[in-house]
């Protein structure tokens, strides 16, 4: 399943086509998109600089949706400063080690 994300002032639309995605900047629309990915059967990696924010978002998603087949979490938190190339490489490595691949990378922060 792949996801197409269209955002408007009054609503968000996510159409499933892929099953794994990273969700950087996990607040507001980022967290809403992560919830929707998981609700449609996907898994997300939350890439966030602020550990408490990222950990809490992953906990909320995992509490609501539980684990995937094989005991994989619905959401995984990875601390990442996207301005640092080495951290982004580590993020992608951790994503592929956990879920086998990276299918989408929505970017919400700068």
Answer whether residue 39 is part of any domain: yes
Q: Is the pLDDT of residue 110 over 80?
A: no
Answer whether residue 85 is part of any domain: yes
Answer whether residue 78 is part of any domain: yes
Q: pLDDT digits over 41-84, tens only?
A: 889 999 989 899 899 999 999 999 988 877 888 999 999 998 89
Answer whether residue 12 is part of any domain: no
Answer whether residue 88 is part of any domain: yes
Higher-confidence residue of 5 and 93: namely: 93
Answer whether residue 63 is part of any domain: yes
Answer whether residue 106 is part of any domain: no
Higher-confidence residue of 37 and 12: namely: 37
Residue-level pLDDT at 3: 39
Number of domains in the chain: 1
Q: Is the pLDDT of residue 23 over 60?
A: no
> What pTM value is reported for the model?
0.70
- 55: domain CATH number is 3.40.50.720
Least confident of 19-23, 58-62, 97-101: 19-23
Higher-confidence residue of 82 and 8: namely: 82
Higher-confidence residue of 61 and 105: namely: 61
CA separation for the pair 34, 103 (Å, rounded): 14
Domain span holding position 92: 21-99
Q: For 33, phi and psi rounded to 5 degrees?
A: -65, -40
Answer whether residue 110 is part of any domain: no
């Amino acid at each position: 399943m792949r996801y197409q994300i269209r955002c408007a002032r009054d609503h968000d639309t996510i159409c499933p086509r892929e099953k794994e995605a990273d969700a950087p900047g996990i607040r507001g629309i980022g967290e809403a998109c992560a919830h929707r990915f998981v609700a449609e059967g996907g898994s997300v990696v939350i890439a966030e600089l602020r550990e408490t924010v990222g950990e809490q978002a992953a906990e909320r998603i995992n509490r609501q949706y539980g684990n995937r087949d094989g005991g994989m979490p619905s959401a995984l938190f990875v601390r990442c400063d996207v301005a640092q190339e080495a951290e982004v490489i580590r993020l992608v490595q951790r994503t592929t080690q956990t879920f086998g691949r990276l299918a989408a990378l929505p970017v919400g922060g700068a």
